[in-house]
Amino acid sequence: MRRIRQAGAAGLALATLAALGLGTASVASPQDPDLGETQAATSTAVDWSGLGQAPCPEGMTRRVSVDSHSMDSSVPQPRFNDGWGLVSSRDGSAARATVSSSDASDHLFLPYVKVSVDRRTMLGLSTRSTQGNSAYTRAQVNSVDLRVYAGQSWGGRVYDVTAATDDENGHLGTWFEHRSRNGASTRWDLDNVQIYTCRDAPVSRISGADRYASAARIAATYPAGVEVAYLATGENFPDAIGASALAGRQDAPVLLTRTGQLPSDTAAQLRRLSPERLVVLGGTGAVSDTVARQAGAYADSTTRITGRTRYDVSAGVARGYSPGGPVLYVASGDDFPDALSIGALAGHQGAPVLLTPKAGLHPAVEEQVARLDPGRIVVVGGSGAVSDTVLTQLRRHTSGTVARISGSNRYAVASAIAQEFDRRPARAYVATGTAFPDALVGAARAGSQGVPVVLTRQDQLVSDGRAALQALDPLRGVLLGGQVALSSVVMDQVGAHVG
């Protein structure tokens, strides 16, 4: 009976081809699962959650959206539908096939679509199943046969089906088959099915296995023999925030460490960089003496900038600047996004970044502001981050203006800062706005190159980030951090706004 139903599915596909006048090409049926259970599920081309627009493989961006089916109103091709109905899903409705001993297999057919031959073509879908065996949840696009793994929770799958474009001069016939294993009653749900093509895009990623490895990968873009390198804890942000701007001015890398252990990736980069000076940021509670000694073995000399509080450390970093600079930036020391956003611009301009409590300037910070005597002062963030009282205190220490850069959220602030850079920069760095390490280290590199850092969410390029990229029109996009920090969807979306 299974083979009869399978042959019937192939016959329906052939009949659809004929009805559309696309010839009588052979449409292969998925292999009988009883003969193929030891085969692995088909590998996906790229990771995806299953929500929103499916991504292209990394280093590419979407060219054309060919076809999509949300399943919110009906199952596609109802006259060819064999056993699939609608059920509620996480974002509307989904198509469901339920099979058992009395109904051994169900089939769902998408309308035939046309793409250019050999165009990089992808099939994306959101799926879940009680089957748990990809031999029984399968898809086929012309001759491309896919074993679709589906767990009990919703997940996204993206497959490269480019090979199918050569079968019928670019006409694609896509269908899904759910079969019962030994008469068991199981369900397979499909939603958000997309067929689309991709093109190459000048977008890449710098990442490592963790924040320490990612920081080391960024440091690897510096030549050996740097004059100075900075070392900060990767467990908290304040000590290195101001130093990222100073490092940007000095074309110096910032590396991260655990408090009590020097990561091997960090040590390897320090060995290669062989800096003349190593500056350790923060006290022994942030970077232990043991770690400082181990790291210092790779440098000609080692110093430490420390203090009782994060504001003392910030003031200590500011001592590396001479008085009379054109601008000085002040940001909240209670949270990291605003200070991260300004790091690249401050590094590019050679301007210091000082941290402040919300309610009023710390004495050590105010002392440095007075010493630096800047031409003007810019506070980064709204009054919820830095109060108007701080602005009043700052006005005592400059003959110029005291202004704010603010926005409705951290992404809007980062977007406004990014747009202070010249248009058509060589690259724009993109980092998550929900964690500090990647943007902190990246800000130093961006500052030294005179290019911006744009912040976004992990799963989507936010509208403010998109606006910044559209205004800047950078030649390349570089994502900082791995998939946990920024998904392939973000890379795809960045790719659409660079080049």
Give 39's pLDDT tier (boundaries 50, 70, 90). Answer: low
Residues 294 and 262: beta-carbon distance below 8 Å: yes
Mean pLDDT of 192-212: 97
Look at the alpha carbons of 160, 165, 171, 175 in this order and tell me if their dihedral is positive or negative.
negative
pLDDT recorded at residue 132? 85
**2-200 has CATH 3.30.70.20 classification:** no
Per the listing, tokens 């590998």 go with 43
Note the Cα 66 to chain centre separation in Å.
25
Closest CA to 236 of 339, 110, 96: 339
Give 337's pLDDT tier (boundaries 50, 70, 90). Answer: confident
Q: Locate the domains of the chain by residue range.
A: 2-200, 203-495
Closest CA to 322 of 373, 363, 367, 273: 373
How far apart, in whole angstroms, are the C-alpha atoms of residue 439 and residue 32?
A: 50
Main-chain dihedrals φ then ψ at residue 445, nearest 5 degrees: -70, -40
pLDDT recorded at residue 1? 27
How far apart, in whole angstroms, are the C-alpha atoms of residue 8 and residue 29?
A: 10
- Percent of the chain surpassing pLDDT 70: 92
Mean pLDDT of 221-226: 97
The neighbour count for residue 324, using CB atoms within 10 Å, is 9
Residue 392 has pLDDT above 60, yes or no: yes
Mean pLDDT of 299-323: 96
Per the listing, tokens 């109904």 go with 103
Main-chain dihedrals φ then ψ at residue 230, nearest 5 degrees: -110, 145
What is the pLDDT of the chain when averaged over all its residues?
A: 91
Closest CA to 7 of 107, 136, 131: 107
pLDDT recorded at residue 193? 98
Q: Among the listed ranges 72-86, 448-462, 478-492, which one has the minimum average pLDDT value?
A: 72-86
Residue 265 has pLDDT above 90, yes or no: yes
pLDDT recorded at residue 29? 44
- Order of all β-strands in the sheet with 228-233: 254-257, 228-233, 277-281, 301-305
Condensed to tens digits (0 to 9), the pLDDT of residues 127-140 reads 999 988 899 999 99
Task: Output the DSSP codes for 210-272.
Answer: SHHHHHHHHHTTSPSS-SEEEEEESS-SHHHHHHHHHHHHHT--EEEE-SS---HHHHHHHHH
pLDDT recorded at residue 339? 87
- Percent of the chain surpassing pLDDT 90: 84
Give 124's pLDDT tier (boundaries 50, 70, 90). Answer: very high
pLDDT recorded at residue 56? 98
Three-class SS state of 131? coil
Residue 24 has pLDDT above 80, yes or no: no
- The enclosing H or E element of 145 equals strand 144-147
Main-chain dihedrals φ then ψ at residue 460, nearest 5 degrees: -150, 150
Residues 141 and 176: beta-carbon distance below 8 Å: no
